[in-house]
Structure formats: structure tokens, C-alpha cells
Structure 1
Amino acid sequence: MADIFILMLFFVLNGADGSHIVGGRDSAPHSRPYMASLQIQGRPNCGGVLVREDFVLTAAHCAVPLQYTVVVGVNSLSGNEATKQELTAVRSFPHPNYDGHANDIMLLKLNSKVQLTEAVQLIALKTGRINVATQCLTVGWGDIGDNNTLARTLQEVNVTTLSQPVCRLRWRGVPITRTMICGIGSHSFQGFCSGDSGGPLVCDGATAGVVSFSGRKCGDSKTPDVYTRISSFREWIRSVLNNN
């Protein structure tokens, strides 16, 4: 039974091979100054957000044996914008209870502090409760067509949160825990997939979730997008930041 479950997760979960937003729109240039692109040898792999001048919040499934180059302050990853800053992630802190599915959250310490500018800003952590049908936003640089068509500029899509019972019913046996938030796009096939991994679910201007996993087809409401619920990990985040 365990082997069947692991195999099912292999097919439905999108790992750190590059997530994507489909059915979204271009973000206004530098309107999401908290966004970070995690790159390996110049290739975007995951997203994240700046939560301190020297720390990025992302997903634990984005952990890799190589060092990440962390790019902030850009709208396009292919351009050479004057606002661009590049740093290196020198240490990773995946949640100690990450099991390949639950507790999918990680902090990355940078080799130096970013310079805060109009194009590079921190984002607050959402502390209050996220109600059902809350209107939020997901942001990322991945595939915009569910066919390896990479975004030229930063993309965003509106997301509506779902109740846990509805999400569990649609996922049909895949564990949806209280430490997760589920969301769907406003229309069919809108949402994230796999290089938006680690990116944010932004609600009321604060980051409420981390892009974790979705179904085989991007933005399919039959398998709602699932985010790690940041409010469930406030104490762990605070502990890592305070000790580093």
C-alpha cells in the first residue's frame, strides 16, 4: 500500500524541475519586489520570497546538492536590468519533518544581505487565519502554456482558497493536512505547476503559503493547487532566523 501511495505521489506531485503559472498575466514591472528566482548554472529552478535581507523562504522539495544563485530585483530573467542583484545561497534549512509531501518549507541563507531598493523588498508573513474563498495571488517565472513555454516576464494569477473538506474530496486519498492551503484559479486551467515551486501565495499583501504540489495538468480544479500554510510554521521560521 505504501509503495502504491509513493508511486501516486510521483505522478501527481511536481518537484523542483521548474514550476509554472498557466492562465495568468504579466506582473507590472517590479510590482512584486519580494520575488526571488533560485537558479542553477543560470537556469531557473524554483521561486521564493525575501523574508529578511539575507534569507529567502521557499519549498523543501526545492533542496538541491548544488548552491543556488539567487536573483532578485528583476521582472525578466533574460534581461540585464539595472535593478538586478545576484547572491548565493550558502546554507539551506529544510523543515526537519519534511517527508517528501508534508512540511514542504525551507529557508535559504544568503552569502550577504540584499540592498533594499524600490525593486527589492521584503514581504511579511501572514499571521491571521485564511478564510475559505479568500482572494489571493500566486507569482512565478515558469511555463505559461503547460508545454515548456517559459515566461519572458514575471507572471501572476488570481487564486481563490478552498475549504479543506472540498480539497480532500477532490484529491481522493492524497493526504491534505491542516498545514496546507488549497486554491484554484478563477477560470479553468489557471494556477501553478512545477518551476513556480517555492513561490508565494500572497493574501492581503503578505505571504500565506508556499507553492508545494499540484496535479498532472496545471491549474486543473479537479486536483486543486496545494500550498504549505506558513502560519503553521511561524515558530520554526522565527527560530531559524533568530539563530542565524
Structure 2
Amino acid sequence: MLLEDRLSVAARWDFLLAELSEPLPLDGKTMVAAKLDDQPSLPEGLNVGYAGYGTDHFGGYMRSDMHKMEMAVQPEEVCKSALPEYRSKDMVCVKGRPPRFDSACSGDSGSGLVDETGRLVGIASWVQNDARSCSNGALVIFSRVSSAREWIRQVTNI
């Protein structure tokens, strides 16, 4: 496994690359690789989504079935105002879409955030209020794939 030199869990650099000794079987449960994002900015309101096994409430148990969330990229001003540690260069800030206003929770870290074309734009990192409430409507922060794209190229040659 390779860790990005600037790794900072639950902060800016939540990236890890693993090389498998053999390909994973495509059995209906395994995703094929997504296109990696090269764009440094994402439009406000962009529809995105992710799937994970995280709990549905703080202190809960991991789910046995993957759940999906529909979200939208939030305005930079909203994220900076609510989250002083937010850095748009390295992070993507999203919020659940109406009517449910889904949020991530404990155990969703590492989930991929994809746009409507299947492009991987982020990796789940942390939630507003440190996932203590896992409340619907909380801002969710993803590590921005484009900020690590050059490192990924250097390591993988792709």
C-alpha cells in the first residue's frame, strides 16, 4: 500500500493506493474503476452521490448492506462559514439533496464521491460536527481527487 506523503486522516489528504495481486472478480458487488477527476473546481449545485456501509446514527453499527446518498456540491462561502478548517483546494463540500438531506456517518470514510458521469471527484473524509450527530442536512467533506491526481499519476502511471 502507498500512502500520500501529506496524509492527514480526517483532514486534507485522505488518499491511499493499494495494488492487488490479482484482479477482483466482477460479481455484481465489485465496482469497476471510475474515471479520476482532473478538474480543480466543481460547479455549485453539481449532483453527486456516494455509497457506503456507515451507520445511520452516531454510535450505531455498520450496515451489512451498502446504502447510497444523493448529494449536491455546496457554495464555497457556505462551507467556509460553517467549517473554518474547510479548504476548497483540497476538499469538496456537499450536502444531501431534498427531500431527505442525507448525510454520511461513522464508517462511510473512504467512500467514493462520483458525479453523474461516474467520474470520481472525492473520497469521504469527515462530517460537520465530527459525525457526532450524523444528522440529515450536515455538510460532508470529501478529499478532492484532483488535488492528488498528479501523485496518483506518478505512482500508477495512469
Structure 1 length normalisation: TM-score? 0.55
1:152-231 pair list within 5 angstroms: 152-171=64-83, 173-187=84-98, 190-204=102-116, 205-214=118-127, 215=129, 216-219=132-135, 221=137, 224-231=139-146
| Contact 2:56 2:134 survives alignment (8 Å) | no
| Contact 2:54 2:108 survives alignment (8 Å) | yes
State the match for 1:123 in structure 2. 34
Gap runs ≥5 in structure 2? none
Q: CA deviation at 1:117?
A: 5.3
Q: CA deviation at 1:94?
A: 1.6
State the match for 1:107 in structure 2. 17
| Contact 1:138 1:192 survives alignment (8 Å) | no
Q: CA deviation at 1:148?
A: 1.0
Amino acid in structure 1 at the alignment position of 2:133? K
State the match for 1:238 in structure 2. 153
Instruction: Find the aligned partners of 1:144 and 1:159 in 2 and give their Cα distance.
Output: 16
> Helix, strand or coil for the counterpart of 2:36?
coil
Instruction: Find the aligned partners of 1:233 and 1:180 in 2 and give their Cα distance.
Output: 11
State the match for 1:146 in structure 2. 58
| Contact 1:185 1:219 survives alignment (8 Å) | no
Q: How many residues align?
A: 150
| Contact 2:56 2:105 survives alignment (8 Å) | no
Instruction: Find the aligned partners of 2:109 and 2:38 in 1 and give their Cα distance.
Output: 22
Instruction: Find the aligned partners of 2:59 and 2:106 in 1 and give their Cα distance.
Output: 12
Instruction: Find the aligned partners of 1:231 and 1:170 in 2 and give their Cα distance.
Output: 23
Gap runs ≥5 in structure 1? 1-91
Instruction: Find the aligned partners of 1:219 and 1:189 in 2 and give their Cα distance.
Output: 9
Residues 1:160 and 1:110: Cα distance change in structure 2 (over 3 Å): same
Instruction: Find the aligned partners of 2:57 and 2:143 in 1 and give their Cα distance.
Output: 24
Structure 2 length normalisation: TM-score? 0.82
Amino acid in structure 2 at the alignment position of 1:139? A
Q: CA deviation at 1:122?
A: 1.9
Q: CA RMSD in A?
A: 2.3
Q: CA deviation at 1:220?
A: 5.0
Residues 1:118 and 1:156: Cα distance change in structure 2 (over 3 Å): closer
Instruction: Find the aligned partners of 2:135 and 2:16 in 1 and give their Cα distance.
Output: 24
Which one has the bigger strand percentage?
1
Q: CA deviation at 1:119?
A: 4.5
State the match for 1:25 in structure 2. none
Q: Does 1:134 align with 2:46?
A: yes
| C-alpha distance after superposition, 1:49-102 (max 9, x if no partner) | xxxxxxxxxxxxxxxxxxxxxxxxxxxxxxxxxxxxxxxxxxx21210123422
Percent identity reads 24
